[in-house]
C-alpha cells in the first residue's frame, strides 16, 4: 500500500511542484524616516532564483541605500536611511528551474513628524478668542495632541501653554485683555515627534459698551428700528410743544389757531375792553375811553348791517350834549353815570339804525 504513495512523492519531487514555499520574517514593519531596516526571505524547496520587488513592481537591484543579498535558500533586503517614498508593499519571489513561482509580501510603513496645522481664529464671547485648527499631513501616524503657546505682543509676557487632543479642531483662549495683540504658536504631535510651529496673530477688540449690549442683545433689527422711530417722534413732539409755549409757532400752534382762532379773537377784544375799563376806574381819570380802529375794522349790528359811526361832521346827540355841558361846567360825573350814558347812546344808535 505504501508503494503508490512513494511513487507519487517521487513524481512531485521530480516535477518540482508544491515544494516552493516562501516566507518573510515579518508581515508588517513600521519605521520612522531616517531609520534602517532589513527583511529576511526564506524559501523551502529548490529555488532557482530569489528576487525582491519594490512597491512600484520593479525588481530591486542593489544600490548604495538599498541592498539585496542571497545565501542558499535565504535572501535579505536591507533599506538604509528610509524616506517616505520607501513605504509600501515589498515582494519576495522565488522560482524553480521549470518556471514555477511562489512569493510572500511585507508591508513597510514609514512614519514621520507631522506637518504644521493650518490655523485661523475669530473673537469669542467676552474676553475670549476661538482658535480653529485644521490638520494637514499627519506624517503617516495619528495626531496625538496639539500644543498651543500664546502671549501678548505688547508686554512680551511669558508663553502660556495649553494642550488639546488630536481629534479636536479648535481651542478657546480665555481671560484675555481688551484691545491687546497676541501671538500664538501651535504644534502637532504624533508618536514620532512634533511638527514645526504654526504661527498666528490677532488683536482683541476694545471693551464693549455693556449697557448697550445688554439692552439690545435680545432685540431684533425690527425692534431696534421701531425704538429709533419712537424716539424720533418723541423728540419732534417735545420740540413742537416747546415752540408752542415759547414762540407761539409750530404744528400745535397752527392747529390751535385753525380750531380756536375766532373765539380767541373775540374773547381777546372783550378782554382788552375790560382791562381798559378797569384801568379807567382805578386811575379815576375823567377822560373818556377812546377805542382806536382802522378804516377796515367796521362795527356791525346783530343782523350784519354796518353801524354808522360818528365823525367830525356828525351832530351830537342829546346825551353827548349833556355830557359836554357838564364837562364845560366842571361838573364831575361818576363812573356809573358815564357807563349808563354810553350804554344808552349805544342803544339809541342801534334803534335808529334799525328804523332806518
40 CA to centre of own chain: 64
Total domain count, the chain: 3
Q: Which domain holds residue 187?
A: 118-203
Owner of C-alpha cell 348791517 = 305
Pair type for strands 37-44 and 49-53: unpaired
Average pLDDT on 99-121 reads 92
80 CA to centre of own chain: 57
Does 23 share its domain with 93? Answer: yes
pLDDT of residue 8: 40
Question: To which H or E segment does residue 198 belong?
Answer: strand 198-203
Q: Which residue has better confidence, 149 or 342? A: 149
Which residues have CB under 8 Å from 306's CB, separation 6+?
298, 299, 300
Beta strands in 139-270 (DSSP E): 145-152, 160-165, 170-173, 181-190, 193-194, 198-203
Q: For 216-240, what is each residue's pLDDT tens digit? A: 555 667 777 888 888 888 888 888 7
Domain's final residue, options 203, 235, 262: 203
Does 35 share its domain with 106? Answer: yes
Task: Find the helix packing angle between 221-247 and 251-283, rounded to 10°.
Answer: 20
Q: Which residue has better confidence, 200 or 11? A: 200
DSSP class of 287 = S
The pTM (predicted TM-score) of the whole model is 0.46
Domain's final residue, options 111, 134, 160: 111
Does 197 share its domain with 128? Answer: yes
Terminal CA-to-CA distance of the chain, rounded, Å?
Answer: 175
Does 69 share its domain with 122? Answer: no
Closest CA to 123 of 195, 85, 178, 73: 178
Q: Which residue has better confidence, 279 or 76? A: 76
| CATH number for the domain that contains residue 56 | 2.60.40.10
Domain's final residue, options 51, 81, 111: 111
pLDDT of residue 5: 40
Does 199 share its domain with 122? Answer: yes
What's the Cα-to-Cα distance from 263 to each of 248, 267, 298, 320, rounded to whole Å?
Answer: 17, 6, 18, 33
Query: Using an 8 Å Cβ cutoff, are 308 and 356 in contact?
Result: no
pLDDT of residue 192: 84
Does 180 share its domain with 196? Answer: yes
Q: Which residue has better confidence, 312 or 81? A: 81
Does 90 share its domain with 166? Answer: no
Asked if the structure places residue 311 within a domain, the reply is yes
Q: For 27-74, what is each residue's pLDDT tens digit? A: 899 898 889 999 999 999 999 999 999 999 999 999 999 999 999 999
Average pLDDT on 264-276 reads 57
Pair type for strands 88-95 and 74-79: unpaired
Task: Show the 3-state SS of 4-60.
Answer: HHHHHHHHHHHHCCCCCEEEECCCEEEEECCCCEEEEEEEECCCCEEEEECCCCCEC
210 SS3 class: helix
Asked if the structure places residue 226 within a domain, the reply is no
Query: Residue 78 pLDDT > 90, yes or no?
Result: yes
Amino acid at each position: 500500500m505504501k508503494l503508490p504513495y512513494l511513487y507519487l512523492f517521487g513524481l512531485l519531487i521530480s516535477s518540482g511542484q508544491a515544494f516552493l514555499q516562501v516566507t518573510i520574517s515579518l508581515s508588517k514593519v513600521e519605521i520612522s524616516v531616517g531609520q534602517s531596516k532589513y527583511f529576511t526571505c526564506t524559501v523551502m524547496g529548490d529555488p532557482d532564483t530569489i528576487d525582491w520587488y519594490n512597491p512600484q513592481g520593479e525588481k530591486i537591484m542593489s544600490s548604495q541605500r538599498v541592498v539585496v543579498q542571497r545565501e542558499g535558500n535565504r535572501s535579505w533586503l536591507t533599506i538604509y536611511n528610509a524616506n517616505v517614498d520607501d513605504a509600501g508593499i515589498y515582494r519576495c519571489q522565488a522560482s524553480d528551474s521549470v518556471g514555477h513561482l511562489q512569493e510572500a509580501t511585507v508591508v513597510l510603513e514609514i512614519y514621520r513628524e507631522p506637518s504644521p496645522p493650518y490655523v485661523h481664529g475669530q473673537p469669542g464671547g467676552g474676553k475670549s478668542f476661538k482658535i480653529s485648527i485644521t490638520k494637514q499631513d499627519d506624517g503617516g501616524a495619528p495626531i496625538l495632541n496639539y500644543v498651543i503657546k500664546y502671549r501678548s505682543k505688547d508686554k512680551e509676557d511669558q508663553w502660556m501653554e495649553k494642550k488639546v487632543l488630536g481629534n479636536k479642531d479648535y481651542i478657546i483662549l480665555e481671560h484675555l485683555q481688551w484691545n491687546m495683540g497676541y501671538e500664538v504658536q501651535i504644534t502637532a504631535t504624533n508618536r514620532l515627534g512634533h511638527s514645526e510651529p504654526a504661527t498666528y496673530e490677532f488683536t482683541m477688540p476694545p471693551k464693549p459698551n455693556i449697557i448697550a449690549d445688554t439692552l439690545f442683545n435680545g432685540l431684533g433689527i425690527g425692534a431696534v428700528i421701531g425704538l429709533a422711530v419712537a424716539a424720533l417722534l418723541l423728540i419732534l413732539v417735545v420740540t413742537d410743544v416747546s415752540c408752542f409755549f415759547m414762540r407761539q409757532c409750530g404744528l400745535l400752534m397752527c392747529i390751535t389757531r385753525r380750531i380756536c382762532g375766532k373765539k380767541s379773537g373775540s374773547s381777546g377784544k372783550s378782554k382788552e375792553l375790560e382791562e381798559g375799563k378797569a384801568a379807567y376806574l382805578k386811575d379815576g381819570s375823567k377822560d373818556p375811553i377812546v377805542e382806536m380802529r382802522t378804516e377796515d375794522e367796521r362795527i356791525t349790528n346783530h343782523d350784519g348791517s354796518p353801524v354808522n359811526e360818528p365823525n367830525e361832521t356828525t351832530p351830537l346827540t342829546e346825551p353827548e350834549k349833556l355830557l359836554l355841558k357838564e364837562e364845560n361846567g366842571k361838573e364831575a360825573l361818576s363812573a356809573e353815570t358815564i357807563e349808563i350814558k354810553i350804554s344808552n347812546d349805544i342803544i339809541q344808535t342801534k334803534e335808529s339804525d334799525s328804523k332806518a
